[in-house]
Amino acid sequence: MRAQLLTLMITLIFLGSVVTTLVLYTLDNNNVEPHLKKPEKKNSPQSPASCKDCREDIKKALQLYSQVWKKDDDNYQKFRSQLSHKCHGLEKAILTQTNTPLGSKLVYDGEKKRTLQVNKGIFSTFAKEPLFSNKTWHTCAVVGNGGIVANSSCGKTIDSAQFVIRCNLPPLSNGYEKHVGVRTNLVTANPSILLEKYAALNERRRSFVENLRSYGDSMLLLPAFSYGRNTPVSLRALYTIEDFKSPIRPVFFNPAYLQSLAVFWRSQGLKAARLSTGIIMTSLALELCENLNLYGFWPFSIHPYSLQDLTNHYYDDRKTKVKVHAMPDEFNFLLRLHSQGVLRLHLGDCEPDEK
């Protein structure tokens, strides 16, 4: 009897050790990479530092950019004339009571089947007179929000321009002013910012108005009639600014201008679902300005010279969820205009006395 019990105990101990070994082996294999198959990489954006294609694109861009820049008046006048002839930005970029009379029909540039009859209420929100007709500036700056402008010390250079355009309500304080400046004559606001950051202005609105103080009495340009969802929140932005007596001046993009601009760039070979705010404002500035400088335009996430990683924006690293803009393609067109002496791109840091 004792011999049977002893045999049973030995058998149980043996089986227990086998089971324990199998469990430990299984757990261990769950924590190591298989030897025969490497794990698949996640679909998160790759750093261009490990992207040979991006490095090659950067190399090509620098070869074109490294040529000594000089304005070419003939090229500038030719391109500006083409742009003006097709798009008429000076007269049509912004909705006014002059270019869009009461009773007009607006066709949304992002939803071609959506239209809006201009009634008295809508008409009253339009600028009362043309804002740009027969007015040009000698020097202008369009400031993009790319991470390349961070730590660039370009603030004073940007502020020396007569007319400064900024995109999508960027922050200008907390140390950023050294690199991007503070002067603002026109700033755009994507309605998605109003929806996400300010609860579509359906709740408390004071923080929205307080954050607009950075831009003084500049124009606040909204694409109110690009998509149906843009209209109510853009109107609430205008009403909020009026209610709080903010000095900033809200105005609306003319959807007909945005449509003509899309057609123009397609004729140049640029294929994009939607033009970015940056190239839209650059296009307008080319009609407004004799000498145009661009800052914060760079489509890659490593610096062209230091090769250090860059954040998506100079103030955060938030990525867009849906890719509707053709940023590298747009940049290549801007780089071509730079090489032709039509406008000037700034990719490096600014010298203290650079203007």
Catalytic residue ranges: 325
Please give the Cα distance from 335 to 333 (Å, whole number): 5
- Spacing of C-alpha 344 from chain mean position: 19
User: Any idea which residue has 């991006």 for tokens?
Assistant: 54
Q: Rounded to 5 degrees, what angle do the CA atoms 69, 75, 80 make? A: 115
How far is it, in rounded angstroms, from Cα 211 to Cα 196? 15
Q: What count of other Cβ atoms lies within 10 Å of the Cβ of residue 28?
A: 9
Torsion sign (Cα): 142, 195, 95, 114: positive
